[in-house]
Amino acid sequence: MRFRDGQWLVAEGVRIEYAEEVYRITPTPSGKGISLLCPTRKVMSRGDTLNLGTLSIDIEAAFDGVISVETTHWQGAIRRGPDFDLFPAGRPDVDAKITKTEAGTTVSAGGLSATVSGKPHEFDVSFHPTAGGKPLTTLLNRSVGLAYTPAPSSPMQLADTRIFKHYLFTQTTLSVGESIHGLGERFGPFNKVGQKVDLWNSDGGTSSDQAYKNISFWMSSRGYGVFIDTPERVELEIGSERCCRVQTSVEGQRLRWYLIYGPTPRDVLRRYSVLTGAPGRVPSWSFGLWLSTSFTTSYDEETVNTFLSGMKARDIPVEVFHFDCFWLKAFQWCDFEFDKDMFPDPQGQITRLKADGVVKKVCVWTNPYLGQASPVFAEAAAKGYLLKRKNGDVFQWDLWQTGMGIVDFTNPAACAWFVSCLERLFDTGVDCIKTDFGERIPSEDVQWFDSSVDPKRMHNYYTFVYNKLVYETLQKRYGTDEAVLFARSATAGSQRFPLTWGGDCESTPEAMAESLRGGLSLGLSGFAFWSVDIGGFEGYPPPWIYKRWVAFGLLCSHSRLHGSNSYRVPWTVDDDDQSDEGCSATLRKWTHLKARLMPYLFSQAQACVGAGLPLSLRAMCIEFPDDPTAWSLDRQFMLGDSLLVAPVFEEDGTVQFYLPEGSWTNFFTHEVKNGPGWFTETHKFGTLPLYVRPNTLLVLGKEGEKRTVYDYASDVEVRSYYAREGASAILVDNQGNKLGKLEVKNGEVVGSEVLTGEFRITVVNA
């Protein structure tokens, strides 16, 4: 929200009060920080302490490299939930140090410090590395404040605050050339400087400034990140109100955020995952191809059988088949009952599909809404399982489903009922769940079962409790590391419940680029795994777009064919073109390639979970933070540590991409290009710019491998790309357990005793 009209004027209808100086510094109750008493005008005499507001700013050491900053106006405001589930693996100890010199008072948390200027009548808080060096960011004059709208003309009017909105805001400085990234799955420009961003989950598609996954965390190219610790609406002006500042504002009496020091993006993400939770593990089978019925298409048991037999006949392995919405009876979404007119024997059908070997796993679409036409609506309403209005009515609207109610997950009985519905699906043979929706949660005229929660905070937080419940139910049934979601909405911490996909995109190259930007931003928000609707969701993709999207989608961590009102099996896209450049042949090539990459991908996946890193899409700046160009690249990505991917967006196959410093090797041709520099290539549908980073040992499945799950140490090929002394690759089995380590020592690859079968080691580049 903008509170000013340019640099000199306050916006019409707004009153602002700033923290003008630090009047007093005292220790915080924890002993790990300091509390600043900041009057909203300079206190030059005792009389100046009367009839004015103050802001309290608590600066505390959270853990090594992380400091929290909490600003409060009125301390008596009730602290309503829900709150983010922080430090889920336990809070690390911190060696908090507070020192005072003539220059000021410093709070240190290991490698990060905050220094409050000791100059009289000044407000200046600098965040900097403890060991010295340039400041990361600063709270300067008139950078912390409160605002009222409409502007009261007299303090007496604030005896009744119901007619006023009260905001708190902070403004951290933006340095020259600094860029800002993350904030969830955002589809607009990769660098957020110059943008206004509202963190409020919305079902807005991929071609707007709205987002399904609003994550209150951003990363700076200057070596730090900021996590805003509230699930309520957060409004950011990122160099868009004041060009040299990032403004964060919330409606309320408190605002807390954590500054997270790197100095590298990897360090920032690792510390962020300590704070909000590490990404959950995913099973190896989930990396295979997922095939969907699509959304509003007409399908029944015969349709499903035809799709899967057609894929098998074309040598395109399908790991997971997904039944989208119309496995349920129309108007009854989502009551967890197969439409018996279309699927008279769902358990038998699923059993037969698996026995025939045309698919390994089955997924179904769900959401937390219940249409009133369903026979179970009356029961759910009567038992208090649904969200209510303040007058006691069930909250209903005709948005999405007629008379739709919303499951109230603050009610333990509603949670137990929802779990029982899921368990019946598991009994039918369902292995994983697509948890759609969770964004359109009302925040006005609602009463939750847990009356202590704030409806405005529940709007974004709802997706966390929804996906957590489903994920943990899957874990209980199938095992801790066998649970998989396909979720659309998310908030901070949702990375613990993988995985997510990019939402509703159009079938255009522009939408493919939008989706790529969304995946990059989400990866910089702590999410390890991500997918996209291959071919685009809306519309009828022409064959060339479908094939380009196949190449992109099979090099995401997870790969799903899904559409809206048209099928995504390849032969329906190009009238079953049988040529080597047809849709079927293209899908087959890329599906087989991903299968062959599995020893590398699954090993990388384990490392990503441990470090809070994205597997794919991984922004180039994570791997090359010292290359200024890497912070602007939004049409390419890293797949793990060692593979660079540049999707093709042009019909004629031309693509421009950037290679950082070093000798990079084309995966397909072994041609070498030396960076840094920009390159242009032209590709048919079976290739794209896929380059191997120098100093890499790349472990691949055997030539012709088609399976997703196999022995990742047997019959493999180990390729050496300019591998120097110490270059290594970790080998894991298909459960993610470490088997051993290959390493270059004295010019030879050692550790091969863990390999079995007819393995080979190929030196691609010496």
What is the CB-side half-sphere exposure of residue 39 using CA atoms within 13 A?
Answer: 17
Beta bridge mates, 250 = 168
Q: How far apart are CA 51 and CA 39, in angstroms?
A: 10
Distance of CA 64 to the CA centre of its chain: 24
Query: Any residues with CB less than 8 A from the CB of 420 and at least 6 apart, and which?
Result: none
CB 268 within 8 Å of CB 278? no
β 530-531/144-149 pair status: unpaired
- Closest by alpha carbon to 461, among 489, 436, 485, 433? 489
- Closest by alpha carbon to 560, among 684, 70, 569? 569
CB 408 within 8 Å of CB 441? no
Which H or E run includes 5? strand 4-5
Query: Any residues with CB less than 8 A from the CB of 187 and at least 6 apart, and which?
Result: 206, 207, 208, 211, 514, 515, 517, 518
Pick the catalytic residue: 21, 58, 229, 436? 436
At 83, the amino acid letter reads D
Pick the catalytic residue: 20, 64, 439, 454? 439
Q: How far apart are CA 526 and CA 548, in angstroms?
A: 27
- What token pair was written down for 432? 């994983």
3-state secondary structure 250-303: EECCEEEEEEEECCCHHHHHHHHHHHHCCCCCCCHHHHCEEEECCCCCCCCHHH
Name the phi and psi angles at 326, rounded to 5.
Answer: -80, 20
Q: What share of the chain is helix, strand, coil (3-state, %, to 5)?
A: 25, 30, 45
Does 436 participate in catalysis according to the annotation? yes
What's the chain's length in residues?
A: 766
Beta bridge mates, 379 = none
Q: How far apart are CA 351 and CA 357, in angstroms?
A: 10
CB 440 within 8 Å of CB 203? yes
Pick the catalytic residue: 504, 538, 634, 641? 504
Q: How far apart are CA 454 and CA 551, in angstroms?
A: 44
CA-based max dimension of the chain:
88
Residue with the two structure tokens 């309520």: 232
CB 661 within 8 Å of CB 678? no
CB 323 within 8 Å of CB 361? no
CB 87 within 8 Å of CB 275? yes
Q: What is the DSSP string of 536-549?
A: -SBS---HHHHHHH
Neighbours of 701 (CB within 10 A): 25
- 490 DSSP assignment: B
3-state secondary structure of 149: strand
Query: Any residues with CB less than 8 A from the CB of 404 and at least 6 apart, and which?
Result: 369, 370, 371, 372, 396, 397, 398
Residues tagged active-site: 436, 439, 504
